Amino acid sequence: MTYVIRRLLGIIPILLATWTLVFAVIEIIPGDPVNLMLAGRPASEEVRQNERHRLGLDRPVVERYGFFLLRAAKGDFGESYWTRQPVAAMIAEQLPSTLALACGGLIVGVVLGTLLGVAAGTRPNSIVDSGTMAVALVGISLPSFWIGMLLIYVFGQMLGWVPIVGSGFPALILPSITVGLFLAGGLARLIRASIIDVMAQDYIRTARAKGLARWVVVYKHALRNAMIPPLTLLGIQFGILIGGAVVTETVFARPGIGAMLVQAVLSKDQPLVQALIVYTTSAYIVINLVVDLLYSAIDPRISLGKSA
C-alpha cells in the first residue's frame, strides 16, 4: 500500500514538468492573443489594454507561469476566445463522444490484435504466422484517415449498411474499426512475440502433458501470462487512441475533443488549446500509472513493494 501512495506522489513532479513544457512552448507563440480575439475588428488602445489586463497578459512571465500551473492544477483555463464559454464546460460536453470512440477502438484493437497475435505466435514461422504478420504490417502502414474514408465509401455509401453520421451505436461502428485497426497491428506483433516466449515455458509443457486441449492451454494458461508485456504498453496505446480520435473524428465529422483540438488550433483559440493539451497529457500520465499498478494485480508474481 505504501508503494501505491509513493507512486501516486511520484506523479506530481511528472505532471509539473509536463505542464511547464506546455507553458514554455505556448510562451513562444508569436502574435498578440488580443488581436486574435478582436479578429480584425477595430478597437482603441484603451480597450486592448483592458483586455490584456483582464487576461493577465500584462503580468511578468514568472507570475503568468505560476498562474498557468494553478489553472492546470484546478483544470480551469478560463473561457474560449471565440465562444466566450468556459473551456472546461465545452470539453466536458464533447468528452463522452470521444470516450465512446476510444472504448470502441480499444475493443476492436484488443480483440483483433489478440486473435492475430495468438494465431501467429502459436505457430511461429508457419504460413499462418507469415500471413498474419503481413496483415499486421499492412495494418500499421495504413494511414487511419484513409482507412476511415475507404470504410465510409464502401460500407456507408456503396453498400449503405451503416449510417455515417449520427450519435447512436451504429454510427460508432466504422469509427471504432478505424481506430482499432491501427491499434491491432502493433498489438498483434507484441502478442506474437510474447506468446512465443510463454509457449516455451515448462508449465505449458506440463499442461500439454496432462492432455489438455490445445485451445485450453493457449487461452487459459499461455495467454494470461503472455498478455502482461503487451498490457504494460497499453498505457502508451492510449496515446495512439488520442491520435486516432483526432483523425477519426475529423474524417467522420463526429463531435469530440480530438476534432475540437484541430479546430482550436486552426482558429487559434489559445485557452481551448491549452486546456485540451493539459487534459490529454495529464490523463495520459495518470492512465500509465494506473496500468502500472494494475498489471501487478493480474500477475501475482510481480510483487509491488520489492520490485520498486
Footprint of another protein (CB under 8 A)? 14, 17-18, 21-22, 25-26, 28-30, 134, 137-138, 140-146, 149-150, 152-153, 157, 238-240, 242-243, 246-247, 250-251, 261-262, 264-266, 268, 273, 277, 280-281, 284-285, 288
Q: Are 99 and 106 in contact (CB under 8 A)?
A: no
Rounded-to-integer distance, Cα 21 and Cα 44, Å: 34
The residue type at 259:
A
User: What DSSP state is assigned to residue 77?
Assistant: -
Q: Max CA-CA distance within the chain?
A: 86
Cβ proximity to another protein: between 72 and 217 the closer is: 72
**For cell 502478442, what's the residue?**
191
User: What are the two backbone dihedrals, phi and then psi, of residue 101, each rounded to the nearest 5 degrees?
Assistant: -65, -45
Closest separation in Å from C-beta 247 to another protein: 6
Closest separation in Å from C-beta 266 to another protein: 6
Angle separating helix axes 61-74 and 270-298, nearest 10 degrees? 50
Rounded-to-integer distance, Cα 45 and Cα 60, Å: 20
Q: Are 117 and 190 in contact (CB under 8 A)?
A: yes
Q: Are 116 and 181 in contact (CB under 8 A)?
A: no
Cβ proximity to another protein: between 196 and 207 the closer is: 196
Cβ proximity to another protein: between 141 and 307 the closer is: 141
Closest separation in Å from C-beta 278 to another protein: 10
Cβ proximity to another protein: between 225 and 248 the closer is: 248
Angle separating helix axes 144-151 and 170-199, nearest 10 degrees? 130
Q: Are 112 and 181 in contact (CB under 8 A)?
A: yes
Cβ proximity to another protein: between 23 and 217 the closer is: 23
Residue 1: Cβ-neighbour burial (10 angstroms; 0-12, 13-18, 19+): exposed
Closest separation in Å from C-beta 232 to another protein: 15
Cβ proximity to another protein: between 230 and 279 the closer is: 279
Closest separation in Å from C-beta 274 to another protein: 9
Cβ proximity to another protein: between 185 and 230 the closer is: 185
Closest separation in Å from C-beta 121 to another protein: 16
